Amino acid sequence: MRETLILLILVFGCALPALLVFVWLRIRKSAVTLPWFLVSLAAGFVSFIVAALIQSFFYLTSQSGFGSVFFDIFIRIALLEEASRVITLILLLLIVRLFRESDVYFGAALGLAAGLGFALIENAYHGITNINIVLLRLFTAAPIHGACGIRVAVAVFCFSKSKLKALFCFISAVIIHGAYNLTIVIPNLPSFLAILIALTAFFASLGYIQTKPLNLSPR
């Protein structure tokens, strides 16, 4: 009975951010219906697998110097995970174009869902070994992957119109992701700093989700 209760708490905790975001999108009368939302969540699941496969070829360094830490945090984790998002979101874009006109707003919303799908699987993976970490990750992993998912999706969906905008969004996602990871691995830093970065990045990235066309000039 206790194990079942823990499993239910784990599943609900991991899925809660995605549920809340879907409700928010429907309240805003978003074009992202339940089928598109579920497809995007699945894309997030796939990107988690792709990232894990790619990262398996890049071993964590055992050294503690700045160069080693920078490589682990910004290259092996942040860059490779955002690159995995690009791969899956390109496939998602191709699927979208089979059924409807694509625009950056719609793409950004799908990217948000895909980011939450990545976070859902990642949270469940870590929660299996430590259920206590799920609550903290709800305030960090879900927002940070949602924010980066939005930015990478904007990069993918606007690439044909503005390569500069696409590059800016992708690089900003890598930097945000890396900065978040850095606050976690550096000892003696307060945990609220990671939460602050995650939430700030998330709400700032929500600006890309709007009902009117985005201005494709870098900002």
Model pLDDT for residues 81-97, shown as the tens digit of each residue: 999 999 999 999 999 99
- What pLDDT shows up at residue 6? 61
Q: Establish if 217 belongs to a structural domain.
A: no
Enclosing domain of residue 142: 2-208
CB-based contact 73:180 (threshold 8 Å)? no
How buried is 121 (Cβ within 10 angstroms: 0-12 exposed, 13-18 middle, 19+ buried)? buried
The tens digit of pLDDT for each residue in 186-209 reads: 878 787 898 899 999 999 999 998
What would the mean pLDDT of 44-54 be, rounded to a whole number?
A: 94
CB atoms within 10 A of CB 127: 21
Q: 217: pLDDT confidence band, cut at 50, 70 and 90? A: very low
CB-based contact 180:140 (threshold 8 Å)? yes
Decide: helix, strand or coil at residue 211.
coil
Q: Establish if 112 belongs to a structural domain.
A: yes
Give whole-number Cα distances, 131 to 6, 116, 123, 124, in Å.
8, 19, 9, 9
The tens digit of pLDDT for each residue in 129-160 reads: 666 666 677 778 999 999 999 999 999 999 98
Q: Establish if 215 belongs to a structural domain.
A: no
b/e sequence 146-185, b meaning 16+ C-beta within 10 Å: bbbbbbbbbbbbbbeebeebbebbbebbbbbbbbbbbbee
CB-based contact 23:113 (threshold 8 Å)? no
- What pLDDT shows up at residue 156? 96
Q: Would the pLDDT of 214 be above 50?
A: no
Give the tokens for residue 136: 């903290």
What would the mean pLDDT of 58-73 be, rounded to a whole number?
A: 73
Please report, rounded to a whole number, the percentage of residues in the chain having pLDDT higher than 90: 58
Average pLDDT taken over every residue of the chain: 86
* Tokens 């995650």 belong to residue: 198
- What pLDDT shows up at residue 3? 61
Give whole-number Cα distances, 137 to 17, 178, 194, in Å.
11, 16, 10
Q: Establish if 183 belongs to a structural domain.
A: yes
Q: Would the pLDDT of 219 be above 50?
A: no
Q: Which pTM does this prediction carry?
A: 0.88
DSSP track, 60-111: PP---SHHHHHIIIIIIIIIHHHHHHHHHHHHHHHHHHHHS---HHHHHHHH
Question: Hey, CA dihedral for 157, 160, 161, 165, is it positive or negative?
Answer: positive
The tens digit of pLDDT for each residue in 9-48 reads: 667 777 889 999 999 999 988 899 999 999 999 999 999 9
Q: Establish if 219 belongs to a structural domain.
A: no
Question: What's the number of domains the chain is made of?
Answer: 1
Give the tokens for residue 18: 């995605």
